[in-house]
Amino acid sequence: MRDWIASRVAAMPRVGSRLSLDHADRAKARGVGVLKTSGTPPSPPAEHVLEAAARAVRDNGTAPSQGLIELREAAAAKLRRDNGVVVDPATEILVTSGGQQGLLLAMLGALEPADEIIVPTPSYFIDALVALSGATARFVPLDAGTGYALDLDRIADAVTDRTKAVLLVNPSNPGGHVATVGELQALVDLAGRRDLLVLADESYERIVFDGRTHQSVAALSGSAGRVVTVHSCSKTYALAGWRVGYVVAPAPLTAQFRKLLEWTQLGCDYVSQHAARAALSGPQGWTWAIRDRFEENRNRLVDEAGKLRHVPYVIPEGNPNLFLDFTATGRSADAIAEYLLNRHGIRTTPGEFFHTPGHVRLEFGGALDTIAEVGRRLARAAHELDGMAAT
């Protein structure tokens, strides 16, 4: 009998975070006391968001393939108000089922098999998205010593005649860097000189710490016509399970992205879109409380863990993840992740999924007491691993 599995699908890896959740579930089934952490807000969205969803449930409606015009208008108003970006909601915004789908549509709609896309690392989960487009990813490592700041010299050196796009995840996931205006303008200038598209994932735009502000690359001089931005309602608006995002792109690209969406799901969820509209256009104070909670968790985690001997890490400027470097232990990231999970109940994702071997990503969303316990267990685990390496 022939093999019915398409080779391009068989070659795809699992998404690292989803695989780590499966490992945690199996550990729990064996009786391991796995601490509950997440990369998304654990609390529900604001009451006015829930009320909007309840009204939409009773409507039992459907949304057009590009998304509800009311949501697109709310997104455009938010972009103008918060990001300094002016777009046409009728032609330059496409509603998606979360940011991940937005990234997929952008890559399928803009990249071809002969193309290359520059991907600074540590990078978010994009391997299969690039592979499905047929393009090739050129990974450019960033330095922990600079806090994973964008290295424009390295990025420029990686550009070839086949390069069509550069991926920008800002704030960085998992590195935690919040790009400065200078870094972003240099990237836009490079894109202009080499005629490149900037594909920007700004899913964590409000999860920034220590008084920092997020700068949208699409607001900078020279960005017009060459930036596609992916936004998500999962983190800022506590709508992770509702699966709502939106892509902002020049009108010709948006039209192509919409065709791809129609052939994969016709249109996105009606109820979730009404909830997202209320979140984007309603009072915003509650969203900053989400940011403050993540920052409090980050501070408590690093206070409890302290400076881990032989396990350096960069204190994140944004995003709800701590990226830990276990290379000095001599163990693979898979082995470290397994050890942390089964011996200490700490769920992490191995760095190979982020093209940074020897590291693991630790999410620090959750109850403050739980995060404090994560820090204490992490310190014990690092001490144990250090002792094993010494022997």
CB 310 within 8 A of CB 346: no
CB 56 within 8 A of CB 271: yes
Q: List C-alpha distances in Å: 16 to 21, 83, 243, 358.
A: 9, 30, 19, 15
* Backbone angles phi and psi of 325, in degrees to 5: -100, 105
Angle (nearest 5°) at CA 17 between 72 and 152: 70
Query: Among the three residues 281, 303, 318, which one is the final residue of a domain in this structure?
Result: 281
The tens digit of pLDDT for each residue in 185-202 reads 999 999 999 999 999 999
The tens digit of pLDDT for each residue in 206-219 reads 999 999 999 999 99
Residues of the domain holding 265:
61-281
pTM: 0.94
Assess whether 143 and 246 both reside in one domain: yes
Q: How confident is the model at residue 389 (pLDDT cuts 50, 70, 90)?
A: low
The tens digit of pLDDT for each residue in 140-175 reads 999 999 999 999 999 999 999 999 999 999 999 999
Query: What does the chain come to in residues?
Result: 391
> In the chain, pLDDT over 70 holds for what percent of residues?
99
Report how far residue 381's alpha carbon sits from residue 369's, in angstroms, rounded to the nearest whole number: 18
Assess whether 240 and 135 both reside in one domain: yes
Q: Do the domain assignments include residue 131?
A: yes
Mean predicted confidence (pLDDT) in 273-278: 98
Q: What is the CATH number of the domain that holds 29?
A: 3.90.1150.10
Assess whether 267 and 372 both reside in one domain: no
Assess whether 200 and 103 both reside in one domain: yes
Is the pLDDT at 390 greater than 60, yes or no?
Answer: no
The tens digit of pLDDT for each residue in 228-249 reads 999 999 999 999 999 999 999 9
Mean predicted confidence (pLDDT) in 347-354: 97
First CA to last CA distance, the chain: 52
pLDDT at 90: 98
